[in-house]
Every structure is written in structure tokens, then in C-alpha cells.
Amino acid sequence: MQQFLTTALTGLTLGMVYAAFALALVLIWRSTRIVNFAQAPMAMITTYVALVVIDAGYSYWIGFAVALVAGLVLGAVVERVVVRPVEGKSEINAVILTLGLFIVIHALAAVIFGSRYRSFPAPFGLRGFQVGDLNLAITGFGIFTIVAVLVVMALLVALFRLTDLGLMMRASAFNAEVARLLGVKVGRMLTLGWALAALVGSLAGLLIAGGSLVHPSYMDSVVVYGFVAAVLGGLDSPAGAVVGGLLLGVSLSFVSGYVGSELVALAALVILMLVLLLRPGGLFSHAAERRV
């Protein structure tokens, strides 16, 4: 019982982070039809930025905020400078380009920050709560993780549903040509979309790093899990990405707890292949088809 509860709660926390990362991938996919594999090293390098700020003596929260802003700027720069020329062209070139970026940011981080493992602080306790004689595996930082992701999601929903800016972004993603004819500055909307996605990615990076170790490849497997989560949800739907992330987090946590942590990536691969072969449109494709 104890192990079951621990595994489920760990999975829920991890699932929230995967959901955030998947959401970042989905935001970019919806607007530019590119899967940004460089999201992982982008989140990694902004986490390093936070670490530098914190090591310089500032509080965790300043580092946290600086990392999020760094993510926002990095996303915008990447879209403007690197991705713009291949938008709407061959999908293979776009994928290769994001992988080139992957390698470059990776190497840059190792040159600037070194490749050794460094510990990253957490603002809340890392010990589980005690309820009776049952030790709940949910930690203070775990609760913070869940709340932070929920808040960001709520803000995104508010942005897309309630503001003119969100409406323009949705229009650009839905049909760039028509949006342009109606006076929407589609280029700017795409840049903003990438910036927001990179911010959400940075958040995921910070949450995974909290109370744990960072090194240049600590996010590499997360991009795979984020992608699997996004595909579970259909790659096109933000809500699907969140549900996919939670499902994946809990399933992988059970694989890790009951089978072996080495096979987590393999389990993710199996899940991905099953989804792609049985329901290529994602778990919720049926509902999506009906809505259209």
C-alpha cells in the first residue's frame, strides 16, 4: 500500500512536469507545425541561468523569475533567427534544424558551465508528509510543482480564451493566410507563441531540477517523455497534452517502481508505438473529430 501510494503520488508530480513540457511542444506544433526537439536543451540552459543567479547570492525566486524570462527571450530569438527560414518548408529540414540547435546548446552549456553534476536548490521541503503511520510521498516541492503547472495552464487558457491577443494567436495558428488578410501580424504571433512555449518549457526544466542534480543532458529524456505525452493527447490539443502528461507520468512511475527504473524509457517507447499504431490521432481523436 505504502509503495503503491508513493508510486502514484510521484507519478502525479512527474506527470505534471511532463504535461507542462508536452504543452510547450504542442504550443509550437499548433502554430508552426514543428516539433521543437531543442526544447530540452533550451530548458536546460535557462535552468543553468537560474543556478548562476542563485549561486551569486540572490534568492531562489529571483533565479526562478530570471530563468522564466530567459526562456521567453530565448524562445523568441530562436524563432526569429533560426526557425523562421524553414517555416512551412520541408518538415525534415525543420526537424534537423532543431536537432542542430539541440547539439549546439548542449555543447555551449558544457563549455560555459562544465559537464559535471551540480545540485539545484528547492524552495520547499523535500520530505513527504506524515499522515498517521502512512508516509505520503508528496513533498512540499511536489505540491509547488503541481500548483505552478496548474497556474501556468490557467494563465494560458485565460490568454487564449479571454484576450484579443490570444484570439489573434489562435487565428494565426488556425489559418495564417486568412489571419494575415484580416490584419493579424502573423509573424509576431508566431514569435510570441515560441516565446510562451519556451517559458513553459523553462518552467518544466526548473521543476525537474528542483532539489535534484543538473548537468547538460538532464533534460534529454524529458523531451522524449514530453513528446510521448503530447502524442498521447494528439499533438494538437493543449488539454490532451496535459491529460497525456499525467497518464504518462503515472504509468512510467509504476514501471519505475515495480519493474525497474532502467526500463522507463523503453516503456515510454512502447506506449508511443502503441498509440501511433492504434490511435495515430491521439487518445482523444474521436472527440476531436466530432467537434470539427
Which residues sit at the interface with other proteins, rule CB under 8 A?
Answer: 29, 34-35, 37, 82, 85-86, 91-97, 99-104, 106-108, 110-111, 114-115, 217, 220-221, 223-224, 227-228, 231, 260, 262-266, 268-269, 272-273, 276-277, 280
CA dihedral over 32, 193, 219, 144, signed as positive or negative = negative
Q: Which is nearer to other proteins, 68 or 271 (CB)?
A: 271
Question: Residue 261 CB, nearest distance to other proteins (Å)?
Answer: 8
Give CA separation, 29 vs 17, 42, 95, 230, 252, in Å.
Answer: 18, 16, 12, 10, 24
Give Cα 291 to chain centroid, integer Å.
26
Q: Which is nearer to other proteins, 143 or 276 (CB)?
A: 276
Burial of 212 (0-12, 13-18, 19+ CB in 10 A): middle
Question: Residue 239 CB, nearest distance to other proteins (Å)?
Answer: 20
Question: Residue 251 CB, nearest distance to other proteins (Å)?
Answer: 14
Question: Residue 199 CB, nearest distance to other proteins (Å)?
Answer: 22
- How many other β-carbons are positioned within 10 Å of the β-carbon of residue 233? 30
Question: Residue 232 CB, nearest distance to other proteins (Å)?
Answer: 12
Question: Residue 160 CB, nearest distance to other proteins (Å)?
Answer: 23
Q: Which is nearer to other proteins, 72 or 94 (CB)?
A: 94
Which DSSP string do the residues of 128-152 spell out, in sequence order? EEEETTEEEEEEHHHHHHHHHHHHH
Phi, then psi, of 138 in degrees rounded to 5: -80, 125
Question: Residue 118 CB, nearest distance to other proteins (Å)?
Answer: 14
Residues 6+ apart with CB under 8 A from 236: 26, 29, 30, 282, 288
Q: Which is nearer to other proteins, 82 or 288 (CB)?
A: 82
Which DSSP string do the residues of 248-276 spell out, in sequence order? HHHHHHHHHHHT-GGGHHHHHHHHHHHHH
Q: Which is nearer to other proteins, 69 or 82 (CB)?
A: 82
Residues 6+ apart with CB under 8 A from 161: none
Question: Residue 69 CB, nearest distance to other proteins (Å)?
Answer: 25
Write down the residue that cell numbers 504542442 correspond to: 26
Q: How far apart are CA 241 and CA 236, in angstroms?
A: 8
Q: Which is nearer to other proteins, 137 or 231 (CB)?
A: 231
Q: Which is nearer to other proteins, 154 or 273 (CB)?
A: 273
Q: Which is nearer to other proteins, 85 or 88 (CB)?
A: 85
Write down the residue that cell numbers 524553414 correspond to: 86
Helix ranges (H only) for the chain are 2-32, 39-55, 60-77, 91-113, 140-162, 164-174, 176-181, 186-209, 220-232, 238-258, 264-278, 285-291
